[in-house]
């Protein structure tokens, strides 16, 4: 990763954080990333609720805020790595704009790497990822809802 990629990513991240208080820096794979608060009782209000405020949302606890993963700037030359729908990722790869993202050899089908720094494109992709996550239509939202509403699995009883 060059300084150009990193500087562009964090500049765009700061703009998104300023415009939407649900967007914040988080961590993933022991590195920095951009996340969106998952809506819930402890999540900050939406941008329309805080249009008059300029301060960031308060932290609910001393634990770092997490939420839905949006994007990161990869240290191994992938440029912008953003989480979108599988179909959108495939379209970006087919068009030559993006390429697969596969840390440690495991390809993430809902993440795409966009190696060439392009302010307009990167901003549009970050906003797209934010909008998908905020609408609850992001790639893992349905999986998370299914896991959280499903009854816990029972372990089979073994005869004594």
Between 148 and 138, the higher pLDDT residue: 138
Select from 3.55.50, 2.160.20, 3.90.1150, 1.20.1070 the CATH code of 3-140.
3.90.1150
Q: Is the dihedral of CA 62, 67, 70, 75 positive or negative?
A: positive
Q: pLDDT tier at 136 (50, 70, 90 boundaries)?
A: confident
Integer angstrom CA distances of residue 140 from 18, 77, 121, 129: 25, 25, 23, 12
- The tokens describing 138, both together, are 């992001």
| Sequence spans of domains, the chain | 3-140
User: Does an H or E element contain 83, and which?
Assistant: strand 79-83
Structure tokens at 5: 């990629």
Q: Give the pLDDT of residue 22.
A: 93
CA distance 11 to 85: 24
Per residue in 16-69, pLDDT (tens digit) is: 999 999 999 999 888 899 999 865 544 455 555 544 444 444 444 444 446 899
Burial class (CB in 10 A: 0-12, 13-18, 19+), 96: exposed
Can you tell me the mean pLDDT for 80-109? 95
């Amino acid at each position: 990763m060059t300084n150009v990629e990193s500087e562009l990513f964090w500049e765009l991240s700061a703009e998104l954080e300023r415009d939407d208080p649900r967007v914040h820096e988080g961590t993933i794979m022991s590195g920095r990333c951009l996340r969106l608060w998952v809506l819930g009782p402890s999540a900050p209000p939406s941008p329309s609720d805080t249009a008059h405020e300029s301060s960031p949302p308060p932290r609910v606890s001393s634990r770092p805020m997490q939420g839905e993963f949006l994007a990161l700037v990869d240290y191994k030359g992938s440029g912008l790595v953003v989480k979108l729908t599988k179909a959108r990722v495939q379209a970006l790869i087919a068009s030559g704009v993006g390429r697969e993202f596969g840390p440690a050899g495991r390809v993430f089908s809902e993440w795409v790497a966009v190696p060439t720094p392009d302010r307009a494109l990167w901003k549009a992709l970050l906003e797209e990822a934010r909008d998908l996550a905020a609408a609850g239509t992001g790639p893992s939202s349905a999986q998370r809802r299914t896991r959280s509403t499903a009854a816990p699995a029972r372990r089979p009883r073994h005869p004594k």
